[in-house]
Amino acid sequence: MWKGVVSFGMVSIPIRLYNATESTAKVSFRQLCPEHRSPISYKRWCPEGEHEVAYGEILKGFEVGKDRYVIINEKDLDNVPLATAHSIDIHEFVPSDDIEPGLYYNSAYYVEPEELGKKPYHLLRKALEATGRMAVAKIALRDRERLAALHATGDVLLMNTLHWPDEIRSAEGLKGLEGDVKINPKELEMAKALIESLADSFDPARYKDEYREAVMRVVQAKIDGEIIEAPAVPQTAKVMDLMEALRASVDAAKKSRAAREKAAPEAKKARRKAS
């Protein structure tokens, strides 16, 4: 979905970008007319000429004054006088854990080398891996310039677009953060024990999106004239019950983990048999 070069120092690596993620099937609803229960359609309408405009005929216009526009086409955007329009321009190399992923990371892209760029590509990948660093770069992508990070991930370079600093909102003003809260040492130890009882290495295969399946049960229930009720929301433990809630949580987590570990060999055997 993008073709250019990775540029650092005097080295240029011709590459292509590919989306590293994709959206799975989502639950979608049609918008219906409340009177006729028929799907609502939207038209791209020109009020000046009072006619519908086909999607492929729509032009991009940049407003330069009241009712005045400059027409911009794809060729104009290809000729944007910006180095990052066709180059991932590396500015610096920083420690791999320097950028907070919870706030800054955005979309992910695989970086594939062109034939002529294979050697410098893998040289960069191995150098990043050996130094424990990632590259901070800029790239013009999808009508705007973006900050980006290049990581070595296995045998491939992965690029994440990053939020600009002025896109990160401050946590200042959030309620419940101000003032000191006294934590009982025994409660802290019990909370740490709960975390340890649930500690594991991340295995994405253990998780799946169950929302669509749940919505389809609601749809089928409506067809069958049945009523489905949502499960009860867990009640927040009162402060006086916090220690007991933690203790019960640790016990439940240990039992759950033991059951999971017992079932794991059977599940692995079933997957082998299926494959």
Which of the 8 DSSP states describes residue 236? P
- The average pLDDT across 233-251 equals 67
User: Could you tell me which residues are beta bridge partners of residue 155?
Assistant: none
Give me the residue spans of the domains in the chain. 2-23+79-166, 185-274
Residue 236 has pLDDT above 70, yes or no: no
Q: What is the mean pLDDT of the chain?
A: 83
pLDDT score for 195: 84
Residue 45: strand pairing partners:
52
Please tell me which residue, 65 or 78, carries the higher pLDDT value.
65
Q: By the 8 A CB rule, do 162 and 106 touch?
A: yes
For 2-23+79-166, CATH gives 2.40.290.10
C-alpha of 60 from chain center: 28
Residue 58 pLDDT > 90, yes or no?
A: yes
Tokens of 154: 């296995």
| Single pTM value for the model | 0.70
> Token match 């854990």: residue?
97
pLDDT in tens, 92-122: 899 988 988 788 888 899 999 999 889 999 9
Mean pLDDT for 16-39 is 87
- pLDDT of 240 higher than 50: no
For 254, 258, 268, 274, the CA distances from 261, given in Å and listed in that order, are 11, 5, 11, 20
| Tens digits of residue pLDDT in 159-210 | 999 999 899 888 888 888 777 888 888 888 888 888 888 787 878 787 787 7
